[in-house]
Amino acid sequence: MRVASKWRNAAPPDFQFCIKAWQLITHTAASPTYRRLRAPIPAGDRDAVGSFRQTEQVRAAWQRTLAVARAVDARVVLLQCPKSFLPSSENLINFSAFFGQLDRHDFSLAWEPRGEAWTEHIVRDLCTEYDLIHCVDPFEARSLHGEPGYWRLHGRGSYSYPYTDEDLALLRRMLEADGPGYLMFNNFSSKADALRFRIRLEIRNGQDFNTPCISNRKS
């Protein structure tokens, strides 16, 4: 955890970290994101990771995530699911078992389900039962539960989509009406888009909405 501790020490005292839980918790080994792992998953573990499975591998992945969260004093830990994670009976059982046994810590938990199979009824009930912030892309859906809100912008239709001035104007109106506590750009031009939007927040009417505007990718 030395790297995480260095991040915390290098950041301003009032800087707020939000982290995403390790993909071994949420994504099965079939996910292409596993290509970015420094070391491949052992062949015998491939069927034991992801989808909140009740396995030692998933529990160990949560403990690693927890250690990083503590090292950076994270305010929010996000669990983002792939579109392949559907509300099947098996997945719902594992989901409930995973969140039902977690000890609550000094951070909030956010969950980002993806895909049309996750109806508002299912998402609202799960987030309410397990006290989860429903994380959304505000151009695609509305958040159904949790404070402070957490928005992640993935590009309109594609990660390669750069947000236009018109998009950012609309985003500001959405922020004024129903603003989240955290707003994250997650498209390929995230750094540039986040900086452009931050300027809009600061100069319009001399106001600052104090919403952390962050980027997840290098542009």
**Residue-number span of the structural domain to which 89 is assigned:** 1-135
- The total number of structural domains in the chain stands at 2
pTM of the prediction? 0.89
**Dihedrals phi, psi of 31, to nearest 5 degrees:** -65, 135
Enter the tokens of residue 44: 């015998």
Q: What is the predicted pLDDT for the residue at 203?
A: 65
Last residue of a domain, one of 100, 135, 170: 135
The predicted pLDDT at position 113 comes to 98
- What's the CATH code of the domain at 68? 3.20.20.410
In tens, the pLDDT along 77-128 reads: 999 999 999 999 999 999 999 999 987 678 999 999 999 999 999 999 999 9
pLDDT per residue, tens digit, the chain (219 aa), is: 789 999 999 999 899 999 999 999 999 999 998 988 888 889 999 999 999 999 999 999 999 999 999 999 999 999 999 999 999 999 999 999 999 998 767 899 999 999 999 999 999 999 999 999 999 999 999 999 999 899 999 999 999 999 999 999 999 999 888 767 899 999 999 999 999 999 888 865 554 444 555 555 443
| CA nearest to 153, candidates 139, 134, 169 | 139
CA–CA distances in Å: residue 134 to residues 35, 42, 119, 151, 157: 28, 33, 12, 9, 20
Final residue in a domain of this structure, among 135, 168, 200 = 135
Cα torsion 205, 211, 217, 219 to 10°: value is: 10
- 125 plus 21 within the same structural domain: yes
End of a domain among 101, 135, 169? 135
195 lies in some domain: yes
Confidence at residue 215, expressed as pLDDT on a 0 to 100 scale: 52
